[in-house]
Amino acid sequence: MKRTVRHLADGREIIYFDQPGAPDRVAEDTRDLPPVSAASEIRLDPLTGEWVAMAAHRQTRTYKPPADLCPLCPSKPGKPSEIPESDYDVVVFENRFPSFAEDVVGEPSTVDGFGLVPVRPGRGRCEVVCFTSNHDGSFGQLSAKQVRAVMDAWADRTAGLSEVPGVEQVFPFENRGEEIGVTLSHPHGQIYGYPFVTPKTERMLEVARAYQAEHGRPVLGDVLAAERKSGARVVASGEYWTAYVPPAARWPVQVQIVPHRQVPDLPALTDAERDDFADVYLDVLRRCDALYDRPLPYIAAWHQAPVHRDRDLGWLHLELFSVLRAKDKLKYLAGSESGMAVWINDATPEQIAERLRAAG
């Protein structure tokens, strides 16, 4: 992979990931941009013990621009974008409207000075990952070679963000579809470098720690073995990965793609594992789009081990889920889900898996 680091007009870093032998990236960002100003902070909820981020400056971020003004497309004469070049393979750049940023100022304090609710600067890093220069494409329409390039970019940036002072967890993800809340339709994802370990990861680590202590084995390893043996919820599989509907699925469409070997994060994957993931994931995405004969809105979230602790308990995996429960019906997170975090699914995991298998 050819990796080229450049900078945008306001100083933000942009990194091009190209195939070997590609032309050098030399175009300059000619826009007149103000400096990025992020005033993020995090506050600790005294009732749950969970950190909540406050990023009021994001209210002014780009919202559903017309296709000819898409900031993620390559630049054209008279229409400069976030990517100065006329074309690209995969590109990553610092978010102009970040939830967390390295240069956030401030010192630890508490809300109103009462000592009850700790406040910290929202230091971290947020990046945008553009999967392709094709505005009308999608991740599922990429070739296996293109997916492998994205995998390498994810791994590179996971390693890079893990070195940022204060970052405790790195989270690559993709939001797809207006039903999910996407405001830029160009195929892209994001990577967050959080200044804390997220609540979901903390809970998963607690469960993994207790299971390991009782059984001497990783819980996800046993779940994976059981799913592969049963086959009732398996959607797709390869030499190194298996995709299945989790046995306690919350969402009307939900798939976990798990490597057969326990690794903490994306950089730990071998070349063969990265190649195999591309085949398995593309199979899953094509089934998802065929499920309702329309592009499926989804979130695809990488679960990685924390940067500085519990690396032995983490087991890398990708979780894809959708709010679409029928071709024209959404699952709303109403009273039970939103109020009490108790999920009620309108379909069984076995039914979800059978529908996805049939969609293939």
Q: Residue ranges for the binding site?
A: 70, 73, 135, 186
User: What are the residues facing 190 on neighbouring strands?
Assistant: 128, 173
The residue type of 220 is L
The residue type of 96 is R
Residue 330 DSSP one-character state: E
What 294-297 contacts at long range (C-beta under 8 Å, 24+ apart), as own/partner pairs, is 294/327, 295/138, 295/176, 295/177, 296/176, 296/177, 296/253, 296/322, 296/324, 297/176, 297/177, 297/178, 297/179, 297/180, 297/182, 297/322, 297/323, 297/324
Residue-by-residue DSSP string for 229-261? HH-TTEEEE-SSEEEE--TT--SSEEEEEEESS
Do 224 and 243 touch, CB atoms closer than 8 A?
no
Catalytic residues: 188
β-bridge pairing 125-130 and 253-259 = unpaired
Phi, psi (5° rounding) for residue 358?
Answer: -65, -30
Element housing 119 (H / E): strand 118-121
Annotated binding site for Zn(2+): 70, 73, 135, 186
User: Strand, helix or coil at 210?
Assistant: helix
Which residue carries 């392709």 as its tokens?
132
